[in-house]
Amino acid sequence: DAGITQSPRHKVTETGTPVTLRCHQTENHRYMYWYRQDPGHGLRLIHYSYGVKDTDKGEVSDGYSVSRSKTEDFLLTLESATSSQTSVYFCAITRDPQMNTEAFFGQGTRLTVV
């Protein structure tokens, strides 16, 4: 299995509080992604990173920010959590999309905003 871990695995938080999810990889892969998974929507890309301090928005980036200060860590922050952000969040890594390599996923973080 690829060395990718997410933390925490579960979190319940109150509306309006900040939340940070962490994705850690030991594969030295350049590309990292944050997705959310909701019923009927499949996986939707929130943000992705193509290197240290290089990030870009995905299709559902509103309300989220990310940071990548080192290769192995990609943080997803909800500045002020809302109930609509209740979801399961997956982190993924790829070595290099140009080389048609598969993506490896973390185990997911279940976030509940009450």
The CB-of-53 to another protein minimum distance in angstroms stands at: 17
Which residues are within 8 A (CB) of 8 and not within 5 positions of it... i.e. 6 or more apart?
21, 109
Which residues are within 8 A (CB) of 74 and not within 5 positions of it... i.e. 6 or more apart?
22, 23, 25, 32, 34, 49, 66, 67, 68, 91
Print the binding letters for residues 21-60 with another protein: x by CB under 8 A, - otherwise. Answer: ----------x-x-x----xxxxxx--x-x-------x--
11 binds another protein, rule: CB under 8 A = no
63 binds another protein, rule: CB under 8 A = no
Considering only 21, 76, 81, 92, the residue that binds another protein (CB under 8 A) is 92
Q: Which is nearer to another protein, 75 or 88 (CB)?
A: 88
Which residues are within 8 A (CB) of 100 and not within 5 positions of it... i.e. 6 or more apart?
none
User: Quick check: 79 and 69 in contact, CB under 8 A?
Assistant: no
Binding site for another protein (CB under 8 A): 31, 33, 35, 40-45, 48, 50, 58, 90, 92, 97-98, 100, 102-108
